[in-house]
Chains A and B, each alone.
Chain A
Amino acid sequence: MCGRTNDRAFAAARHPQGYIDTSYRDRMVTALYARAEAIASRVVKKNASGFFALEERLDAIVTSRVWGYPIMLALLAFVFWLTLKGANYPSGILANLFFAFQDVLSAFFYHLGAPDWLHGIVVAGMYRTLAWVVAVMLPPMAIFFPLFTLLEDLGYLPRIAFNLDSFFKKAGAHGKQALTMCMGFGCNAAGVVGCRIIDSPRERLLAVLTNNFSPCNGRFPTLIALSGIFMGGFLTTWSGTMLAVLTVTAIIGVGILLMFFTTWFLSRTVLKGEPSFFILELPPYRPPQVLRVIVRSLLDRTIYVLARAVLVAAPAGAFTWVLANLRLSEGTIIDHLACIFQPIGKMMGLDGYILLAFILGLPANEIVLPILLMSYLSAGMLMEVDGLRALGEILMDKGWTLVTAINFMLFSLLHWPCGTTLLTIYKETKNWKWPLLAAAVPTVIGFALCFLVKLLAGLMGIMAAG
């Protein structure tokens, strides 16, 4: 294959000091590389500037000792800010559209003389939940996803892994977990599949089990809406918006810290082992094809959200409507169920309805809030929630305080992954032990943290009153 060049290449590689290892494999690899280099140098033209171009300067900034971490944080906050500001307006438009059409639907049912229960299941249950999910969830996703894809396309994500590797190493994991963590912000099921990029089975499992600490697109809009209402003064002022952005960034920060802590804990208990071999390529930056990315991910997200809304949200909406409207003696089924969870909910600074909504929301995180609204509102009708103010009024009417909002956000970050993610974890690991663990770990932490926040708030209240 290499002919006579082989010996010559080998001679060239041989050192007078005789450092070279003379095993057969080494000789072969050395010869192959020498040969490849010889061929490449004949046919490949290189830019004279080599790699000391703009790339180098960019890398020097984004991985600098001073600016590396602040830039990552600032980028994160900037993406949230754009999502927050940008999603508010189209959400309102979509909501108005959907609810206008609902009146048409209702009139149509009335005209046909359809029974009340049918109208309830189809319009009040299915259609409203679907409309809510699309109106509230689609805009943030449609903004967040393209932005994220742009960063991916640019080649910035491997730099994040480069910056964070030593922290992952301390936690006993692989730096590439930074990448799967970032993928998790889009969708945890996708993040879990993405963990295949990690070669060592132990480190892959660590990444799989802790992916849920990245709040996915199904939970993001919920976090954004609640921080907009309770911290951001309905996002009407500049300072309010900033506070909302800070809140969301802080929640993400808590998630990342807990992800490190859990990874560290697991790698010293259930998943003991040595760090494996680490190689990370920092690919050249590419100017992202902005328009193509935006169009493609917009379409992707839209189709994805619509598909989930039809397949998951609509049936769940119908089911919840039935639960909220079937009366058993004193109250509806939802009331009875919520009663069961009330004590434990109260202990966590939440209530029975909220816990129930999280449980019923197992198929998809997007539907937790609409289910909660449906079960809150009398006769199980999802009201016209046009914008944050109306949503805020409903929640405060049900006795929500700042503590309720904070704990709801924390529990949204820290509870079991959605059904799709759990199934994906099973498919990736072929063992039900792992999805169960992936569900148990964040839930336990969530319970503990909510309890702690409520306790602290209570103490502060006593101090303030005293």
Chain B
Amino acid sequence: MGAVTSLSDLKPGSTGEVVSLQAWGLTRRRLMDLGLVPGTRVVALRRSPSGDPTAFFIRGAAIALRREESRQVLVRPV
């Protein structure tokens, strides 16, 4: 268990466990709808060739998120 970091700082290939969401309102709801709730394991898959967005493996689906959104998800590297 490492220090808490955000999903956007997760290196491709590494896994993190969601700790909390730093978003409110609609954004928070959308992130939760993806299944990003505390305890969920997320794998960073790869970045777009231009550096953003990044594809994450979330609950059996590959989902691409921009840095704006993934910054708001705090994770603990596993």
Contacts and interface: CB of A to CB of B under 8 A. Distances in A.
Interface string B47-78: 01111110101011111111011000010000
A21 B21 contact: yes
A281 B63 contact: yes
A279 B63 CA distance: 7
B46 A20 contact: no
A69 interface: yes
A278 B37 contact: no
Interface in A165-181: 165-167, 169, 175
Contacts of A280: 53, 63-64
A110 B38 CA distance: 83
Most chain A C-beta atoms within 10 Å of own C-beta, residue among B19, B49, B57, B61: B49
Interface stretch (A60-68, A83-91, A397-405): A60-68
A162 B57 CA distance: 14
A20 B29 CA distance: 15
Contact of B66 (A51, A69, A165): A165
B46 A21 contact: no
B53 A59 contact: no
A392 B45 CA distance: 52
Given A15-B38, A20-B38, A162 B55 contact: yes
Residue among B35, B37, B55 with the highest chain A CB neighbour number at 10 A:
B37
B19 A15 contact: yes
The prevalent SS among residues of B at the interface is mixed
Contacts of B65: 278-279
B63 A282 contact: yes
A208 to B, nearest CB: 22
Interface residues of B, number: 37
Interface stretch (A26-34, A377-385, A453-461): A26-34
B20 A279 contact: no
Contact of B38 (A13, A46, A51): A13
B14 interface: no
23 contacts: A12-B39, A15-B20, A15-B38, A19-B19, A20-B20, A20-B38, A30-B39, A34-B37, A51-B57, A59-B46, A59-B62, A163-B50, A164-B50, A166-B52, A169-B52, A278-B64, A278-B65, A279-B34, A279-B63, A281-B64, A282-B64, A283-B61, A284-B62
Interface of B: 4, 19-21, 26-27, 29-30, 32-35, 37-40, 45-46, 48-53, 55, 57, 59-66, 68-69, 74
Given A25-B29, A25-B32, A282-B64, 7 more contacts: A12-B39, A19-B20, A19-B74, A26-B37, A277-B26, A278-B64, A281-B62
